[in-house]
Every structure is written in structure tokens, then in C-alpha cells.
Amino acid sequence: MGKTLEVRKVAGALGAEVHGIDLARDLDAATTRQLRDIWLEHGVVFFRDQELPPAQFIEFAKKLGEVIEYPFVKGLEGFPLIIPVVKLEHERNNFGGIWHSDTAYLEAPPMASMLVAREVPPFGGDTLFASQNAAYEALSDGMKKMLDGMVAVNSSAKADVTKTREDRIAERGTETARKVLEAEHPVIRTHPETGRKALYVNFGHTLRFKDMTEEESAPLLGYLFAHQIKPEFTCRFSWRPGSLALWDNRCTQHNPVNDYHGYKRVMHRITLKGDKPR
């Protein structure tokens, strides 16, 4: 049967808080299926007050998918698949602090990412999410027709996103950290589970369209980057210690807000294996 879960939408386009579940103890097969359905419907789901030390965090993640490494930053001691996402009191840049879809420069970008809050500032540090299903559906028929079949080139070396991970690479960089990773993906991708179409370019990683220069690509990409994060496509999550977010990387983007200088923020992230966008 699974548990009776309370689902509270947080915005019109995406996002829901799920209550009535202990992620360390309550995930039998039926509840896991129920939770996955809720996640697929809402794009990103949020949980409060979860006691998930690293071993239990990994076990929870494995029930939803295959846990994989993040290519640039080393994981926790003893838990290499858990990435510390940290901003210290003296640092000005935050990790991944722009709108993006996780690691779109990989041939098979992640299906999902999950983040649990360990230490949060007294204010600020929220994360924004944007539905790329809603962004696609709001495009004109003419724009949809033009974008259909177009391919985008995505790179790990795009300057704005590189800057947001420099501090962590200096401290915990992997051997991959200095490599440039690139991948080509359709501008419009079809979700392999829901069948819905989503806009799949992002400011953090998309350089240009295939067979076009960056200069030629810039006007249309600039329009799409602005369009896909319109307020009506977004939701906002305020963290507390023990809060967890699980987002569908195939149809959402996110942006951690960098508005808490002078305070420490510590999060732990797990990434779940995906497939090649189509």
C-alpha cells in the first residue's frame, strides 16, 4: 500500500513539499514508487527534518537510482559519492551559483540530484528552481518548430560557472577538475518517463548551437536563457538543517542564491545516473 503522504504544492509550475515520511525508515517498495510518482509530477520535491547521516543518505539515494560521482570535486572521507557543497564565511562565490542544469556537458547527464542541508546561514541561501516543461510549453508554435531538431554544445569550461566552483576545486579537486568536458544535446528533449518535452539549454553550460559560432548563437540563446527562468516557471525553497531537495535534472534548472556573505553554509549532494538526452 505504501504510506499516506501529504503533498503540498509550493508554486504553480513545479515543486511540492512531502510530509509524513522518514526517509531513513519509511521507504518500502510501495512508498518508493509513490514517492517517485510525486517527484515526476512536480519536478522537485522537498522534505523537512530528515535525520540522514551519510550512510543513510546513500541508502535512501540507492532506492531511487544509481549513485554516481561528480566529476570535479572529491567526496566526503569514507563516502566518496557524497559531495560537500560548502561556502565558508570568507568566500564570496558560492558553488554553482547561477541558473543551470547539472553537468549538461556529460554525454549522459544525471537523472536527478539531491541535496541535504547540514548547516545553514541565519538568513538567505535559498535555492530557486525552474520548470523547463513549463518554459517549453510557453514558447510560440513557431519557436517550437524552429528549435525542434536543433542541437546545443555544452561545456564544463563556460566562464561563469567555472568561477563558482574554483574554491572547491582548489580544496578538493579531482583529476578531472582541469579537463574540459563537452557534449552535444538536443535543444528540446523528451522526458524518458513522462514523455513531456522540456527546453534543454542552460546559461551555465550551453555555449552555442551545433554548426553555428558562439556569436551567431548568442541572440537566440540569450532569449532562451531569459525566457526559461521567468518567475511564473519557478519556485523557491528556504533551507533548514535536515531539509532535503530532490530534483529531476532532465526537466528542471536550479540556482542557489548567494545572499549570505559572512556566514557558513554546508550541504551534502548526491547525484543519480541518467541517460543520453533524446
User: Phi/psi at 140 (nearest 5 deg)?
Assistant: -70, 160
User: Phi/psi at 147 (nearest 5 deg)?
Assistant: -75, -25
Question: b vs e for 108-146, b when ≥16 Cβ sit within 10 Å of the residue's Cβ?
Answer: ebbbbbbbbbbebbeeebebbbbbbbbbbebbeeebeee
Cβ neighbours of residue 206 under 8 Å, at least 6 residues apart?
Answer: 104, 152, 153, 154, 158, 221
Q: What angle do CA 62, 118, 129 make, to 5 degrees?
A: 70
Cβ burial of 191 (10 Å; 0-12, 13-18, 19+) is middle
Residues forming the active site: 100, 102, 254, 269
